């Protein structure tokens, strides 16, 4: 089902620089995206992994890795592949905002307080969803601390996703940095499938199994 499919995956955080030595980011390790990329490659998919800055190494030489740093760089890299992919999976924790101005030299510690003006970053999944063809699928991720299902439904509709992976940081072993995760899958018909805490490799397999079901429905 997935052999020969061209699949774009985003993974990891982005860094949005304030000055040459300081930046805004988050605690994403990229482990979930890399796990999905490797499982898909093992199934014969043609995988393009657009990765923000992580300490991870990919175990499959068949995966094309595009390294980026900022949200704008990630968007530009993804746009290059939008028209050619069958599936897009957006696992990256892209920074919502970036500084309006990046200072060219290190900001000196002169005042008791400092104000940084931020501007909104583009939403890469939303940009893909605007032009998504009927023969393309997309999967999003939503990490929330409350109102998880409600926010998930809003994101799925706004970004034209086929399903969305929901998770939180409310329990030990969930979310950023861990080798495990606990997810729920929310589908377009508002059905939800819950999973217990598992290794991210196992979570990747669960997500891919649902993706294969979606593909089967699309082409039958």
Alpha helix ranges (H) inside 5-70: 31-42
153: tokens are 């439904």
CA–CA dist 31, 199 (Å, integer): 10
Q: How far, CA to CA in Å, does 168 sit from each of 48, 64, 206?
A: 26, 29, 17
What percent of the chain has a predicted confidence (pLDDT) above 70?
Answer: 99
Clarify whether 26 is annotated catalytic: yes
Three-state DSSP class for residue 141: strand
Query: Which among 149, 154, 141, 105 has a CA at the least distance from the CA of 26?
Result: 141
Inter-helix orientation angle 31-42/200-218, to 10°: 60
Residue 1: pLDDT band by 50, 70, 90 thresholds? Answer: confident
**Residue 59 phi/psi, 5° resolution?**
-85, -10
Give yes or no for residue 59 having a pLDDT over 90: no
**Residue spans per domain, the chain:** 6-102+114-218
Topology of domain 6-102+114-218, CATH: Rossmann fold (3.40.50)
Note the pLDDT of residue 220. 65
- Tokens 């003006």 locate to 117
Is the torsion defined by CA of 145, 150, 155, 160 positive or negative?
positive
- Within 8 A by CB and 6+ apart from 189, the residues are none
Q: Is the pLDDT of residue 129 over 80?
A: yes
**Active-site annotation holder among 26, 160, 170, 172:** 26
CA distance 86 to 59: 23
Contact 74, 124 (CB under 8 A): yes
- Per 3-state DSSP, the chain is made up of helix, strand and coil in percentages (nearest 5) of 30, 25, 45
pTM score, two decimals?
A: 0.94
Check residue 153 and give its pLDDT.
94
Summarize pLDDT for 170-207 with one digit per residue, the tens: 777 776 778 899 999 999 999 999 999 999 999 999 99
Per-residue pLDDT, averaged over 24-37, amounts to 95
């Amino acid at each position: 089902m997935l052999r020969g499919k061209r699949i774009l995956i985003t993974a990891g955080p982005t860094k949005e620089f304030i000055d040459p030595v300081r930046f805004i980011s988050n605690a994403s390790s990229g482990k979930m995206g890399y796990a999905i990329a490797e499982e898909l490659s093992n199934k014969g998919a043609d995988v393009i992994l657009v990765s923000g800055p992580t300490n991870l190494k990919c175990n499959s030489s068949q995966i094309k890795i595009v390294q980026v740093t900022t949200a704008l760089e990630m968007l530009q890299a993804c746009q290059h592949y939008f028209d050619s992919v069958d599936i897009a999976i957006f696992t990256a924790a892209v920074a919502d905002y970036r500084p309006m101005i990046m200072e060219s030299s290190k900001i000196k510690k002169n005042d008791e307080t400092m104000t940084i003006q931020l501007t909104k970053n583009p939403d890469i999944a939303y940009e893909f969803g605007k032009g998504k063809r009927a023969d393309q699928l997309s999967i999003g991720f939503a990490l929330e601390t409350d109102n998880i299902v409600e926010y998930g439904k809003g994101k799925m509709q706004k970004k034209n996703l086929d399903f969305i992976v929901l998770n939180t940081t409310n329990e030990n072993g969930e979310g950023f940095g861990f080798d495990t995760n606990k997810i729920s899958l929310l589908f377009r018909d508002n059905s939800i499938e819950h999973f217990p805490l598992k290794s991210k490799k196992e979570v990747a397999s669960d997500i891919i199994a649902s993706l294969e079901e979606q593909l089967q429905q699309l082409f039958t």
